[in-house]
Amino acid sequence: MRIRPAVLAASFAVVSALPVGAMAQSKDYFIPGHPAPAARPAPAPVAAPLPPQVGPAPLPPIPQPPLPALKPLPPASLPPTAVFGTIGVPEVMNGLKVVKQVDDVINGRLQVLANDAKKAQATWRSMQEALARDASKLTAAEIQKRRSELDAKVLADQKAFRLRQLHIQEAAQVAFSQIQSVLKAVVQQVAQSHGMNLVLLRTQVAISARAFDISGEVQAEMNKVMPTVNIPPENVDPMTYAGKPAPVLPSALVTTPPAAPAPAPKKK
């Protein structure tokens, strides 16, 4: 068996690091020409204390019931022959007009929020400096009153900023929910035009011919049927504004539902 040079080097480094006096005092070393000393029994290992257990204790194994006797099912119809297609969703999204619209609006609102937060912080600092400057002229009750006013303003401003940030995030979610719904319909529309019945994400496919990729067609069709998206206005609860309805699809993608069957004539 070949020993790796790195292992030998590590062993030599460990031995060289030992003090000479410690090696001389040891009775377990071997000197050529002298009988080897009798081996001393190794000391009993000392059990290390177990670390404190963090979190709940693990559950015992759950007994599994025996599987029922499964009988073969009757033969069913074969699925259709798979006609594959692939799509790169990130590439499609990066080229959509509505995605750029959402990014511009949301980033603009976040920038305004950041500027307002800086102004509020400057106001808090001014109030605190004024209180420190006037403290020698005020009574203890007046100092306590102005401190309470400062604390109340800080808490109210922070609450308002958190609510605005939440509304901005929810507005983006509402807008992208509409985009995703229309994108799914357009993918199905383009796939059907090619006779495809199975579309895979391009990241899940190791290799495929370029002819299978419908990303460019989906992106072009999306920009036609959905040039804009309805973004909830600012300072409005997006969930209340949207009412959480199903997104309205462009008219080019709306399909007419089948007519309900006529009721059967009553027997006389």
Fill in the DSSP letter of residue 234: T
Query: Binning pLDDT at 50, 70 and 90, where does residue 61 land?
Result: confident
pTM over 0.75: no
Domain segments of the chain as ranges: 84-248
Average pLDDT, the chain: 78
Counting Cβ atoms within 10 Å, is residue 93 exposed (0-12), middle (13-18) or buried (19+)? Answer: middle
103-117, 148-162, 226-240: least confidently modelled range = 226-240
- Predicted confidence (pLDDT) at residue 203 exceeds the cutoff of 70: yes
- Predicted confidence (pLDDT) at residue 219 exceeds the cutoff of 90: yes
Query: Binning pLDDT at 50, 70 and 90, where does residue 53 land?
Result: low
Counting Cβ atoms within 10 Å, is residue 188 exposed (0-12), middle (13-18) or buried (19+)? Answer: middle
Tokens found for residue 45: 């290992």
Task: Report the candidate in 169, 199, 19, 66 with the shortest Cα–Cα distance to residue 109.
Answer: 169
Tokens found for residue 160: 């308002």
Q: What is the mean pLDDT of residues 53-67?
A: 76
Query: Binning pLDDT at 50, 70 and 90, where does residue 88 land?
Result: very high
Q: What is the mean pLDDT of residues 178-187?
A: 94
Q: Are 237 and 167 in contact (CB under 8 A)?
A: yes
CA gap 120, 167 in Å, rounded: 19
Residues in the chain: 268
pLDDT tens string 155-172: 999 999 999 999 999 999
